[in-house]
Every structure is written in C-alpha cells, then in structure tokens.
C-alpha cells in the first residue's frame, strides 16, 4: 500500500484504491448515523452548537442561558472557535456562521437566514476626549496578529499613526482598546454594547455578511435541533439593532 522514499511514504496504486473505498465507507457511515440521529425526537440529550467566540461571549450567552432554563434536560455544548467545524461529519449539530454569499453554502446544509452583520471603528471615551483636545495628533491602530488595518477603517476624521499596536487574541485586543492604547474595528454588537467605547468621528459602518443558522440535512429533523433553531431565530431578530449598528447614536 505504501512505497518508502527518502522523503517519506507515498501511496501505491493499490493504496490509492483502498483510500478511495475507505473514504466511501466513511461517507456512508456518516450518512447512516445522521439519518438515524434525525429520527431522534427526544428533548433529552446532547446538542452541539458552533460559532465564532465573539458571538458566544458578547451577544448570545444570555440567550443560551435562557434556552438551558427552558430545556434543562438538553446538554448544550457550545463550541466557540474560529476554526471551521464539519456539520456533515456531525462535529456539530448547529452552526452560527457569517456568510458573505449564500451561493457559497454547501448544498447539503439547511440554512435559516439571519440578520446582516456590521462593524465600526471604536476607541475609548478618554482617548477620544484627549484627541479632541489636540486633534492633529494621530492615534495608533490596534490590530490582531496577522491582521492589518482595513481600508474602510481609514475613512474617519482621526489620522492613524504609522506604528500599530498588535495583540494575539480577541480578549487582549478588546482590552487594549478599552484602556486607550488606540482605536480598532469591532463588530457593532461588541463596540456599541460597551459603555467605555465610542465610535470614531467621521467613521462609517462596514458590512461583513449575514448570519446564518446552519444544520445538516438529516440532523435538522431531530427535536432538539428544531427547538434550538426556532428559539435562536427569534432571538436573532431581537438582536438586529446591535448587529446592524443602529443600537447607539454615534458620538
């Protein structure tokens, strides 16, 4: 099945044929498991939900708490990560994802279209007050590692300093902005909900796509998934002002 080379191992022709059959077996096993799982109409058991960390920590945790109170026998497993999760392989039952083009959604997923998601440029109230006292002074841009300054973030009245301030994770990134190190782009549901932050003068909002509630074809038939998606779709409607950036008047 394998040929040993100086650089490592390579599949032989026979190995390639075995691999193709193994992939078919895995696909069939996943389809069978999903079909059987789809017949589960119990409100007791496991429910795995995946989404970006900011959605879980800054917007939806109180909704999850309410769902847990309504259905105490459902074991809710929140997987908050930026890494993609495969619904077809049942790594999760439900995914909350930001989608730019609906045509990019896999055909085997069932989607409930949610609200549009917008971002803005934010800085601390104290930093804005200091800048207004001397508006010619540029302000640093706080960026996460490997990210740059978005073009739309440079459109405001505040000039951006040449030297950025870099962070690694979302928590440090937000903490840097709160403490007045600089300004940055944040989802409106994060920036507008934080009383210590304000919109940068002259800056505009930027659309990032639309939230979708996604499930796999057979899994969506389970009672637990139906209860959760119905509940969460109603909650997302209530979050439209925050998601769209209309919850607070820019200062």
pLDDT digits (tens, 9 = 90+) for 21-52: 777 766 655 555 555 544 556 678 889 999 99
Q: What is the pLDDT of residues 205-239, one digit of tens each?
A: 999 889 999 988 777 788 899 999 999 999 999 99
The token pair that represents 81 in the structure block: 């990560």
Whether 30-116+209-241 shares its CATH topology with 118-207 is answered: yes
Q: How many helices (H) and strands (E) does the chain have?
A: 8, 11
Rounded to the nearest 5 degrees, what angle is found at the Cα of 176, between the Cα atoms of 170 and 182? Answer: 120
Quick check: pTM over 0.85?
A: no
CA–CA distance, 46 with 189 (Å, rounded to integer): 29
Rounded to the nearest 5 degrees, what angle is found at the Cα of 170, between the Cα atoms of 165 and 173? Answer: 25
The model's confidence at residue 247, banded by pLDDT at 50, 70 and 90, is confident
Where in the chain are the domains? 30-116+209-241, 118-207
Amino acid 128: pLDDT? 95
Nearest to 85 by CA among 219, 223, 214: 214
Q: Which of the following CATH numbers is that of domain 30-116+209-241: 3.40.50.300, 3.30.700.30, 3.40.190.10, 3.40.640.10?
A: 3.40.190.10
How many CB atoms are closer than 10 A to CB 172? Answer: 13
CATH architecture, domain 118-207: 3-Layer(aba) Sandwich (3.40)
Lowest-pLDDT range, 5-9, 111-115, 194-198? 5-9
DSSP letters, 103-121, are GGS-TTEEEEEEEEEEEEE
């Amino acid at each position: 099945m394998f040929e040993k080379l100086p650089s490592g191992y390579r599949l032989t022709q026979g190995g390639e044929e075995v691999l193709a059959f193994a992939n078919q077996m895995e696909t069939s096993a996943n389809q069978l498991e999903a079909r059987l799982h789809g017949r589960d109409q119990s409100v007791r058991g496991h429910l795995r939900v995946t989404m970006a960390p900011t959605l879980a920590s800054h917007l939806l945790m109180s909704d999850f708490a309410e769902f847990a109170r309504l259905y105490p026998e459902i074991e809710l497993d929140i997987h908050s990560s930026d890494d993609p999760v495969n619904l077809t392989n049942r790594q999760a039952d439900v995914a909350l994802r930001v989608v730019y083009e609906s045509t990019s959604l896999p055909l085997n997923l069932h989607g409930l279209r949610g609200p549009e998601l917008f971002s803005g440029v934010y800085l601390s109230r104290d930093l804005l007050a200091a800048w207004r006292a001397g508006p010619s002074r540029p302000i640093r841009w706080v960026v996460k590692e490997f990210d740059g300054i978005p073009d739309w973030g440079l459109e405001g009245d505040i000039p951006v300093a040449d030297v950025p301030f870099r962070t690694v994770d979302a928590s440090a990134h937000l903490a840097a902005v709160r403490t007045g190190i600089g300004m940055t782009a944040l989802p409106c549901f994060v920036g507008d909900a934080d009383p210590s932050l304000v919109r940068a003068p002259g800056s505009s909002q930027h659309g990032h796509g639309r939230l979708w509630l996604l499930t796999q074809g057979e899994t969506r038939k389970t009672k637990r998934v139906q209860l959760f998606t119905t509940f969460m779709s109603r909650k997302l409607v209530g979050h439209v002002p925050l998601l769209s950036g209309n919850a607070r008047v820019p200062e």
